[in-house]
Structure formats: structure tokens, C-alpha cells
């Protein structure tokens, strides 16, 4: 069964690129353009991984990551944070919010897929509670 990945990205081109690459690598993908819809979509989709843009309109990706980590259904879903604004201290703030990994845009396909595979494999290796 294909691993399921939620892609939360407001930029249409980035969202399409991420989804196309993930589908080409055998993943089932659910794209979300609006961060305000992300949590409900995640609960319905039950992802194995969430890819989260940090700079979203209306709600910060950092806030969404923190909300996911407090949600009884989503707390164990790893998050790969992706942002164009990679300033000093950003990675620490993103990881402190609960992200499992972090990539700065522009994202190259090789490192992107390596990060995705590592996080999906890490989840698969965890014992079922």
C-alpha cells in the first residue's frame, strides 16, 4: 500500500511540483493550498507524512505544525517543513514547533526525495503502540 503524503503549499507551481514528484515515486498525495483547511484535511486523509510550507496566508506553517503535534490523531505524523525564508534561527524555530526535518527553497528534487524517504522509513520503523 502506498504511503500517504499531505502537501500543504499555497504556491500553485510548488504544490504541483511536489505532488508530481511524489506521485512519480509511488506515493499517494493529498494537496492543500489553504493552511486553514490543512488540519481537517489531514484528519480525513490520515497521512504518513506532511510536507508543510512555513509561509502560508492566514495561518503560519509553524502554527499548523504545533497544532498537529497537539492533535490526538496527528501528533505522530512527521512534518517536513519547507520555506523560502531561511534566516538565522529559522531551522531551530521550525524544529522547536515540532517539524521532524527542514528544507530551504528552492528545493532540489534529490535532497527533497531523500528527506521524504528518510521520514517515511523512520515512521515505518516505529513500533505500533
CATH code for position 81: 3.40.50.2300
pTM, entire model: 0.92
Which whole-number Å values give the CA distances from 39 to 3, 35, 94, 112, in the listed order? Answer: 18, 8, 18, 23
Residue 6: the pLDDT is: 98
Give the model confidence (pLDDT) of 33-59 as tens digits.
Answer: 998 999 999 999 999 999 999 999 889
- Three cell numbers written together for 61: 506553517
Alpha carbons 26 and 5: distance in angstroms, whole number? 11
Split into its structural domains, the chain has a count of 1
Amino acid at each position: 500500500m502506498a504511503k500517504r503524503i499531505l502537501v500543504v503549499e499555497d504556491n500553485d507551481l510548488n504544490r504541483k511540483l511536489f505532488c508530481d514528484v511524489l506521485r512519480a515515486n509511488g506515493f499517494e498525495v493529498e494537496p492543500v493550498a489553504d493552511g486553514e483547511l490543512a488540519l481537517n484535511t489531514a484528519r480525513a486523509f490520515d497521512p504518513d507524512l506532511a510536507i508543510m510550507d512555513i509561509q502560508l496566508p492566514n495561518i503560519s506553517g509553524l502554527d499548523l505544525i504545533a497544532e498537529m503535534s497537539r492533535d490526538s490523531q496527528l501528533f505522530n505524523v512527521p512534518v517536513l517543513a519547507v520555506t523560502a525564508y531561511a534566516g538565522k534561527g529559522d531551522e531551530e524555530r521550525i524544529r522547536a514547533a515540532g517539524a521532524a526535518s527542514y528544507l530551504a527553497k528552492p528545493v532540489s528534487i534529490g535532497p527533497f526525495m531523500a528527506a521524504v524517504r528518510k521520514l517515511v522509513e523512520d515512521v515505518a520503523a516505529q513500533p505500533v503502540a
